[in-house]
Structure 1
């Protein structure tokens, strides 16, 4: 079902008292895939920590945020079969991506464009490009460790989709500066790239030593699988991150988009997005059952890739209640009760 096919619930936020809490949809129960955790988690988490903190000014609250993030757990859940070297690259990248995401929240479009230039030059020319910026050094470091075993198709998909990420966060910065709340269709198109999920899908190929031909990766059913997984991870993240984002006045989130476009109150908007998330799980399951055959060897790799998308879907849902990024230290309690109490707006917002 498309977003427009879901009947809007009566509402307007202005019609009633300001809410103090809302109830989460139970997406974990609806996503009935098995959760698995990579056995190299602790080793890789320690290695990434040393890599991130070396000769750097990440101290105090910045270090506390890193520990509360629990990126190593997310990586271990999303790449459960990766060997230790591959898991390390994936964990370095995800930790670095969260760092970029935090930076982009405070950037204007010039700042995101400048960062994009450094990152993309570092990816396209990892052995010859020279830039003292820390983000460039980090990019070249993890990417040079990825190159020896990543297929050419995987490398190209990683760089291209990372380019899309920067293009979309630049547009997000422009919207934020102008106070624009996009319509739902425009938001969905942009969010599929601001999520940063697409480069992570390329890392599924890398982490599992896959070499899937371009024409197979471009098949409509396989593309639909990736899009459905992206939508679940991204839209559920909008639900989980809404409380923190609303406290900062950030409107790049599907909840305020739906409230604005459809005149829904907060709970109705959360229910609406939750229903969309459940539909993406069903859509993924249907697409996976519709995969064609390309022969035994390619079919095996495609199944491993699809399993990797499954791990991301179920892993990201469970991790969202383990990290302190969305619910502080109350994540497990929120997972049980499904109730989120709204944070007050910050004065700077």
Structure 2
């Protein structure tokens, strides 16, 4: 990967009013696939979420614009109806949990972690009055019906990593601390929740990859490359909303500070890093070892799932109202964003 010499613009005294997104859509050439079963399943999953929570009218409007079912359909395009429904329920739960955790302090995050991990360990017998945990039990009790033991354990472990990393993020937020780039990348790979979402690739496909495959250094590097592209592109898309609420857990903010870049320079650098992640994904996919005919077939399915995730979440980001409100298709075409004013502290 060549050096991003054109992206080293330094901080300026003038405040920008807009910025240009990197052209990520043209940087990734994987075909977008959509599960044909998604429409009725998405509607049923939305109803499940709304029935299990007490959202306000404005929160319901925001939730309906999320289109998490469409994301599930793009990330798991070959899943049957039963498995796609569990995937959709998980996504709806995860996005709402992520929003709730944004408002939590460290202690509240740890308490939520304890309740959710307990529910995952024993979704039938664990007792709770927390709505989010009850919904966790709902989707996971169905997940366990067809999931392998290894897949189940990986999901619980990666969800635990998610909660631990979010607690770290909450601590940084409370102390107004901006991490260095290396530390940020490490924790962001877990706050993104990509790791448990990747477990759902196995679940949706009905495959069971052994630890010897999943722990292989090249497989880990391939997953990390996919995770990085998904996570860093998400940071680019969510930057505007996050900067307006003074949130510093974002790659663009970290780069502005560490590389002494202005906003556009940091965005361009972020785009360069995303392109590098695609190249790393392709490189590591090409050098994965062979295990056996059957395992190699399952590995190929898993790698296809990582690819579907990378391209699926990219296009969904413009279809959903989560990042660009109702302007996603215009933003996708023009890539110009007007900066939102910062909220009062």
State if a TM-score over 0.5 links the two structures. Answer: yes
Given the alignment, which residue of 71, 76, 79 partners 2:76? 79
Q: In 1, Cα distance between the equivalents of 2:28 and 2:338?
A: 24
2:297 maps to 1:300: yes
Could you say which residue in structure 2 is the equivalent of 1:90? 87
SS at match of 2:319: coil
2:147 maps to 1:156: no
Q: In 1, Cα distance between the equivalents of 2:39 and 2:210?
A: 34
Could you say which residue in structure 1 is the equivalent of 2:233? 236
Q: In 2, Cα distance between the equivalents of 1:201 and 1:229?
A: 10
Given the alignment, which residue of 173, 176, 182 partners 1:179? 176
Could you say which residue in structure 2 is the equivalent of 1:190? 187
SS at match of 1:340: strand
Cα deviation, residue 12, structure 1: 3.6
Q: In 2, Cα distance between the equivalents of 1:335 and 1:94?
A: 23
Could you say which residue in structure 1 is the equivalent of 2:328? 331
2:18 maps to 1:21: yes
Could you say which residue in structure 2 is the equivalent of 1:217? 214
Question: After superposition, what is the alpha-carbon deviation per residue over 1:58-97, rounded to whole angstroms, capped at 9, x for unaligned?
Answer: 2301110111111111110000000111011111111111
- Kept in 2: contact 1:81–1:208 (CA 8 A): yes
SS at match of 2:323: helix
Cα deviation, residue 298, structure 1: 0.7
2:30 maps to 1:33: yes
Q: 1:211 to 1:55 in 2, by over 3 A?
A: closer
Cα deviation, residue 11, structure 1: 3.8
Cα deviation, residue 167, structure 1: 0.4
Could you say which residue in structure 1 is the equivalent of 2:121? 124
- Kept in 1: contact 2:226–2:310 (CA 8 A): yes
Which residues of 2 match residues 32-111 of structure 1 at below 5 A? 32-54=29-51, 56-111=53-108
Cα deviation, residue 49, structure 1: 1.3
Question: After superposition, what is the alpha-carbon deviation per residue over 1:234-285, rounded to whole angstroms, capped at 9, x for unaligned?
Answer: 0000000000101111110010111011110000000001100001001111
Q: In 1, Cα distance between the equivalents of 2:37 and 2:320?
A: 19
Could you say which residue in structure 2 is the equivalent of 1:260? 257
Given the alignment, which residue of 121, 134, 149 partners 2:131? 134
Q: In 1, Cα distance between the equivalents of 2:180 and 2:50?
A: 40
Given the alignment, which residue of 269, 272, 297 partners 1:272? 269
Which residues of 2 match residues 193-204 of structure 1 at below 5 A? 193-204=190-201
Could you say which residue in structure 1 is the equivalent of 2:242? 245
Question: After superposition, what is the alpha-carbon deviation per residue over 1:141-169, rounded to whole angstroms, capped at 9, x for unaligned?
Answer: 10010112111111011000100000000
- Runs of at least 5 residues in structure 1 that lack an aligned partner in the other structure: none
- Kept in 1: contact 2:73–2:84 (CA 8 A): yes
- Aligned-residue Cα RMSD (Å) equals 1.3
- Runs of at least 5 residues in structure 2 that lack an aligned partner in the other structure: none
